[in-house]
């Protein structure tokens, strides 16, 4: 849900920035005001975009949207610089008409404009550098996660092998126990049979061999 919301505001911010970019070359007071209004609208959309971006938990997704925001911010800086240039040029033209000292004022305005442009470019370079650092951090995090997944996969494979080996040992042990149990049962049955024979001989006074019994008792047969 949060991902779809941040994607929505990212698109709205991008559309607002593109609208402001389309008006950055406007001239005249009315054109400059329209461009400023579009830039203000873009920054309003950015606030909603930034608010939704804070709710994103996935670091990779957050880094991707952060890079998009930085790129759009750089374009806003360009529009702002264009507005400053347009206002300076408008002011210089008006001052030239009113005072007749237009060349000097124009040069001063050009110097101020150059300074502002350099500052804007400096800010843009900082934004680009920040985006690059975010990208490198994201790649490093992905590499670390990939290594962790590989290690986990190896551990799972090793555990499965150990379980298979343990299962085989248990089966062999069970078979051996069954064999030993059968031997114990047969030995017990032999002992019981021997004990029964002894009891029989003791209580009856007869031998086990029938012929020996006939010799001892001639009356038989």
pLDDT digits (tens, 9 = 90+) for 71-127: 999 988 888 888 888 777 776 555 554 444 555 666 676 777 777 887 877 888 888
Phi–psi pair at 77, nearest 5 degrees = -60, -40
**Considering only CA atoms, which of 38, 40, 48, 41 is closest in space to residue 69?**
48
More confident residue, 11 or 98: 11
* Averaged pLDDT score across all residues of the chain: 78
Q: Residue range 195-221: average pLDDT? A: 64
Where residue 220 falls among pLDDT bands split at 50, 70, 90?
A: very low
| Collapsed DSSP state (helix, strand, coil) of residue 177 | helix
More confident residue, 202 or 211: 202
What is the pTM (predicted TM-score) of this model? 0.41
Per-residue pLDDT at 172? 80
Lowest mean pLDDT of 13-22, 34-43, 100-109, 196-205, name the range. 100-109
pLDDT at residue 1 greater than cutoff 60: no
128: Cβ–Cβ under 8 A, 6 or more apart, which residues?
Answer: 70, 74
Per-residue pLDDT at 147? 85
Lowest mean pLDDT of 9-13, 15-19, 170-174, name the range. 170-174
pLDDT at residue 217 greater than cutoff 60: no
The whole-angstrom separation of Cα 10 and Cα 50 is 9
CA 209 to chain centre: 88
Per-residue pLDDT at 207? 60
Lowest mean pLDDT of 49-53, 69-73, 128-132, 155-159, name the range. 128-132
35: Cβ–Cβ under 8 A, 6 or more apart, which residues?
Answer: 20, 23, 24, 26, 79, 82, 83, 86
pLDDT at residue 214 greater than cutoff 60: no
Per-residue pLDDT at 221? 45
pLDDT at residue 15 greater than cutoff 80: yes
Q: Position of tokens 């006939």?
A: 214
Per-residue pLDDT at 2? 56
């Amino acid at each position: 849900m949060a991902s779809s919301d941040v994607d929505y505001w990212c698109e709205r911010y991008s559309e607002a920035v593109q609208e402001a970019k389309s008006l950055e070359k406007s001239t005249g007071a009315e054109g400059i005001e329209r461009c400023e209004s579009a830039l203000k609208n873009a920054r309003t959309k950015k606030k909603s975009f930034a608010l939704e971006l804070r709710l994103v938990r996935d670091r990779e997704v957050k880094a991707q949207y952060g890079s998009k925001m930085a790129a759009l911010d750089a374009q806003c800086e360009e529009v702002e610089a264009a507005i400053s240039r347009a206002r300076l040029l408008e002011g210089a033209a008006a001052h030239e008409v009113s005072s007749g000292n237009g060349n000097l004022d124009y040069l001063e305005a050009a110097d101020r404009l150059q300074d502002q442009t350099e500052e804007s470019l400096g800010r843009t370079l900082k934004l680009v550098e920040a985006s690059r650092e975010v990208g490198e951090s994201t790649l490093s995090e992905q590499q670390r996660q990939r290594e962790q997944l590989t290690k986990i996969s190896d551990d799972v494979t090793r555990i499965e092998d150990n379980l298979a080996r343990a299962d085989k040992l248990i089966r062999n042990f069970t078979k051996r126990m069954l064999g030993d149990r059968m031997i114990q049962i047969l030995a017990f049955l032999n002992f019981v049979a021997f004990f029964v024979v002894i009891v029989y001989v003791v209580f009856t006074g007869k031998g086990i061999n029938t012929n020996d019994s006939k010799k001892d008792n001639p009356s038989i047969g």
